[in-house]
Structure formats: C-alpha cells, structure tokens
Amino acid sequence: MTAQDVMIRVTLPDGSVREYPKGSTGLEIAAQISEGLARNVLAAKVNGVVQDATRPIDTDATVQLLTWNDPEGKATFWHSSAHLLAEALESLYPGVKFGIGPAIETGFYYDVDLNGQHFSQDDFRKVEDKMLELARQKNAYVRKPVGKADAIAYFEEKGDPYKIDLLQGLEDGSITFYTQGGFTDLCRGPHIPNTGFIKAARLMNVAGAYWRGDEKNKMLTRIYAVTFPKQKELDDYLHLLEEAKKRDHRKLGKELDLFAFSEKVGQGLPLWLPKGALVRERLENFLRRAQVRAGYQPVVTPHIGSKQLYVTSGHWEKYGKDSFQPIHTPDEDEEFLLKPMNCPHHCEIYKTKPRSYRDLPLRLAEFGTVYRYEQSGELHGLTRVRGFTQDDAHIFCRPDQVKDEFMKVIDLVLYVFKSLGFNDYSAQVSLRDPENREKYIGSDELWERAESAIIEAAAEKGLTTVMELGEAAFYGPKLDFMVRDALGRKWQLGTIQVDYNLPNRFELEYVGADNQKHRPVMIHRAPFGSMERFIAILIENTAGNFPLWLSPDQIAILPISEKYEDYANDLFFALQEHDIRGFVDLRDEKIGRKIRDAEVNKVPYMLIVGEKEQADGTISVRRKGGAATGQGGDLGSMSVDAFVALFQQEVKL
C-alpha cells in the first residue's frame, strides 16, 4: 500500500464519519461534499483548532469547514484582509514598517509606522482601490515555517524593527511566515485560501496607538478597515452604521434631555436630567415590584467601605489597581474605598445575626451605586462609565436550593427581557480558564459544583447556551445573557453567578437541621446589569421610542389656540389621576409645529384640543408613527374615558 492509499477517518459536525486519503485538505474534503461548499470554505477547524483550509490533515480528526457565516471563518477572512491592507500600504508608501494586524469584532486594523509620510482619510480611497486591485489577482496565502535566526535576518534586511521585537518573544520552531503576492508577514495564521475571496473593502478610521500599548514607545498609525465577500454586504453594513449613528444613545440622550456629562463633575460620571431620572425610576420600580413578588428584601449600603472589607472579599487583590485610590481619614491607619462591588456589604448584612436553615434562602436586593476607575480613553457614553448603579441582589441559600433558586432567577431575567422587547438573546456559560487557575479563588471541587449547577439549570430551562472558557468572575462561574438589539449587535445584559467562595472568605454560617454549622452558597444576580448600560442599549434598541409605560412623557396635550388652554389644563389634571404623565404645550405655535416637535421628542400620544373637542368634552388623538405598537397616525376623536381605556390596554402589552 502506498502513502496515498492510507486513509483517515474524518468526523463532520453532523456526526457522520467519512474516509479520505491521508493528507487531504479541508478544501478537498469540501469539494467532495459539494462544489458550492468548496467555493465558500475559508478555513477548517480540525480537532478544535482553526487552520488553513489548504493544510493537509494527516490523522483521524473532527473537522468543521468554516465559511463567512461562522465567527471563526469571518475572523480568518478579516485577518487575511489585514495582510492585504499591509500589501497595499507597502506598495503605496515605500519604507512603511508594520506592527500587528489582528481581526476584531467589526473588521480588523493594522498598526503601521509610515516613516513620516502623511496619511489621512483623504487617502482612504486609493488604499481601498489598491486592496481590490491586489485581491483580484487571487494570490494564494502560502504558509512557510521559518527558523528564528532566518526570520530575524529577513526583517533586519527589510528594516522592520517591530517584527524583530515580536520575534524576541517567540520560540524557535514555532515561527511561520505567510506570503501573498509580493508581501510576506510574520504570522501564525490561519488564512483564507487566496485573496480572490475579498470583493469589497472600506477603510473606516485612522487613529494613533502606542507600540505594544506602552506610552513610552513610539506612536504608530492604526488603520481600521472592514472587508466583505460581496459588495452588497458592505453596502448593507454601511447602511447599518448610518442607522446606528441615528440611534447612538449619546446623540439621543442629548436630544431627548435624558442625561448629560460635565467635566467639572468628572469624566464618566453621568448626570441624570429630569426625563432620564423618570426612566430610571420607572425601570427600578418595575423591577422592585417583580422582586417583591419573588421574595426579595430591599437593603441599602454605603457608597464607601473599609479597605479591609475588600481585602477580605478578594476584590482588592484582584482589582485594586483598577479601583479608585484609597480614601485616607485623619486616623493614620484608616483607609476607605469607593464601593466597587455591593456583594461584600451584603455578606456583612448576612452576618448581622445567626441564621438557621429555615431562614434560607435569604434574598437581599439593592440598587447600589458602585465606582470603578476606567481610563479616560475607554469611557463611552453610558456604556462605559466610572460610577454606575447595579440592580444587584444576592441570594444566600443551602446547597440543595442552588439549582432551584438559579432557575427562578433565569425566569426573572427572561421576564425583564420580554417586558422590554429584547426577544433575540442567547445564554453564555462563563467558565474559568483551566490553564490559568491563579486568576481565581477557591478549590477545584467548589468550582466544579458551581459550574455543574449553572449548566444543569440552563439545560432544564431549555436555554440555548455556549460555553466560554476564561470568562468567569474570579470567585465563581456565571450565566451571561447576550442580547441582540434591533441592529443585530450583541450585548451582555443580565448575569447570574454561583459563588461558593465569598461565603468561605466571610465565614458565613447557618445552623442546619442536624444542629451543625454549615456554609451557605451565594448567588449573585443583576437582570439589568448596570442601569446606565441597560438604558443606553434600550435607547439604541428602540431609537428612543420607549414602551409607553416607560416613556418620560407619555402624552402631549396640544391646544389649537390659547382659547382652549383652560380645557387642556383641566384635561391634563384629569389624566394625571389615571397615572398618565406628560405636559401641555402652551407655546404660541401653529398646531402643525407642535405635532412635529412632539414627534421629534418621541412622545407616544398627542391629544389635540380645539373648539369641537371643548364643546363635546372629547379629544382628538394622534399616535406617534413608528412606535412600539406600529400603529401611528390619527386615531380620531374619542371621549376621555375611551382614551384612558386605550392607554391602559397598551400599557399592559
């Protein structure tokens, strides 16, 4: 039997097992399945590792053929596009030197040293054109193992100090080059088969970035870009970005008078304006009512705590460098911290008196404001701030109660999502990284018990889950809810965490039925996560068109002229009795202008009153177009009672 006759067994994602000659590539396997698949394969995942679709497979293996529709296929496409960008830059800017060019969630970037040459957005088009010119050559991405000495010699001759710097940290025998066309780069891959897959390219932004993120190093030029296998997909993406700009919570927050920032108050510290405070208050009241029904008890804790509290919890050791610096009092040895977490405070509440197994579960809830230091460059509207309020709660329960309590929290999170229109979500089981256990506290046994409880609870609830190693909190695994908004973007909102470790560190106890002392288990949960971030995402998801019950102004009463102002005011006070909130527009403006302004300000209902309405004791009702119900426009004349009934019916939706 010749080497070519040796067969390997390949297990495909559907569980089927097929035999192929040893040394077959992912592309060859795809071609035997279908020509259409072979035309779309970007990479192959072999025994869990993504590699070039053109690399031979020499042993029995599980194989997944990756296309643009797979996240890892898309990442491979974009990383290969970064090499294409570098090739275009090298041809247009002689002497350019290259740092790194990774794929990111929204495309890719390359950090480059242009050696003093000018580059701005005015140059984007010529680089894009060059990229597509090179892409049409369909040059293969060719992988080549290189010895460390030869690799260093290559980049020394080329005069590329950043690649030499990268090579210093690599082991001989692990180094590979990739070449496409006339461009060679230091890279471990993987890459798409050839440049011809890239049919559309757009440079998105240019910024500065210190080499290796160290401000002591040279500032490089970071060029952000995105590519697609079809021009239509790029067009759709650019349209989506325009929609995202319209929905940007920072823009809408200002236009709708919801929140503001002040340099004098401090970066990352939002100021909630009256309308924004109303939205917050209604969200909090909504969750408070749900929590009361679920057996939670409210607590309030201080905005600061003794440094020793966070030393005990482990937060100081893990996050001390990312916290605000300690607050010193006149007593020499006394130090406090702005509260970075609510959980240590709740542990101390638990310890205020002896607990029995009959007292558990104990569910403590708090809308607690916490403070964490974020670098100024990382702050972003309400989604990344330095002071934020968590809808935090901690459940202290017996080990036999963990799964049941966890599933009840899942029910609460899903109730919140349904009520606020977040219907497209998945659940991520965030586990510890088994290769980096020093990041975490607690024994292997406790971690395994906590992880098993989460996986079992999610399965019993029928949740679609993905497992993510290394995403756990330092004290325990968690279930993170990933929500897709109206633009298809993914956000982490609700989170639930199982924790066997903080009860140990705080020496929490309860007396069991056996009259012996036992440790409770702690479940951390936050359906909103952070109020600031949740509201930011809600603004963008709804484009500012909040559900009726949440709108800061639910109605605008619009008198046609000043003759009907008294009737409008009487109507306003009558509707307030039904907990319907809004305002009377008494400006000396034409009714058309008043209607347009109410629409712009996202007011759900406009109640127009004039001579006929006053005489009949009625109102002319107009619903804002494009609101949550999809029923915009003129709804006609109706009695006040009929409108109240209509309003209350929609609030219940």
Annotated binding-site residues read 343, 394, 524
Tokens 């609830």 sit on residue: 461
392 is catalytic: yes
Cα–Cα distances (Å) from 342 to 283, 369, 388, in that order, read 20, 8, 12
Nearest CA-CA partner of 107 in 82, 78, 136:
78
Residue 255, phi then psi, degrees to nearest 5: -65, -35
Encoded amino acid at 258, one letter = L
Give the active site residue among 130, 163, 363, 372. Answer: 372
Encoded amino acid at 459, one letter = A
Contact predicate 373/323, CB 8 Å: yes
Cα–Cα distances (Å) from 564 to 581, 586, 611, 634, 639, in that order, read 20, 10, 7, 20, 17
Which uninterrupted H or E stretch holds 427? strand 425-431
Give the active site residue among 111, 113, 392, 485. Answer: 392
And the tokens for 445?
A: 């046994």
390 is catalytic: yes
Q: State the SS3 of 125-149.
A: HHHHHHHHHHHCCCCECEEEECCHH
Residue 328, phi then psi, degrees to nearest 5: -100, 140
Tokens 């609460």 sit on residue: 412
Give the end-to-end CA distance of the chain in Å, rounded to a whole number: 71
- Sheet containing 478-484: which strands, arranged edge to edge? 297-298, 362-371, 387-397, 521-526, 490-499, 478-484, 425-431, 465-469
Encoded amino acid at 383, one letter = T
Cis ω for the linkage preceding 190 (within 30 of 0): yes
Rounded Cα distance, 132 and 242, in Å: 24
Nearest CA-CA partner of 74 in 190, 243, 239, 238:
190
Rounded Cα distance, 195 and 227, in Å: 11
And the tokens for 450?
A: 């906590």
- Sheet containing 555-559: which strands, arranged edge to edge? 582-584, 555-559, 605-609, 618-623, 633-639
And the tokens for 444?
A: 């292997």
Rounded Cα distance, 562 and 515, in Å: 76
Annotated binding site for Zn(2+): 343, 394, 524
380 is catalytic: no
Q: Which residues contact 331 (CB under 8 A, 6 or more apart)?
A: none
- Please tell me whether residue 124 adopts helix, strand or coil conformation: helix
Q: What is the DSSP letter of 31?
A: H
- Please tell me whether residue 404 adopts helix, strand or coil conformation: helix
Q: Which residues contact 251 (CB under 8 A, 6 or more apart)?
A: 245
Dihedral angle computed from the Cα positions of residues 469, 473, 478 and 482, in that order, rounded to the nearest 10 degrees: -80
343 is catalytic: yes
Give the active site residue among 97, 163, 315, 524. Answer: 524
Give the active site residue among 394, 594, 602, 623. Answer: 394
- Please tell me whether residue 632 adopts helix, strand or coil conformation: coil
Cis ω for the linkage preceding 361 (within 30 of 0): yes
Give the active site residue among 390, 401, 428, 554. Answer: 390
Nearest CA-CA partner of 440 in 476, 464, 401:
476
Give the active site residue among 187, 343, 347, 397. Answer: 343
Contact predicate 451/499, CB 8 Å: no
Tokens 């010119």 sit on residue: 133
Give the active site residue among 130, 249, 386, 478. Answer: 478
315 is catalytic: no
- As beta bridge partners, residue 394 has 364, 524
Encoded amino acid at 370, one letter = V
Q: What is the set of active-site residues?
A: 343, 372, 390, 392, 394, 478, 524
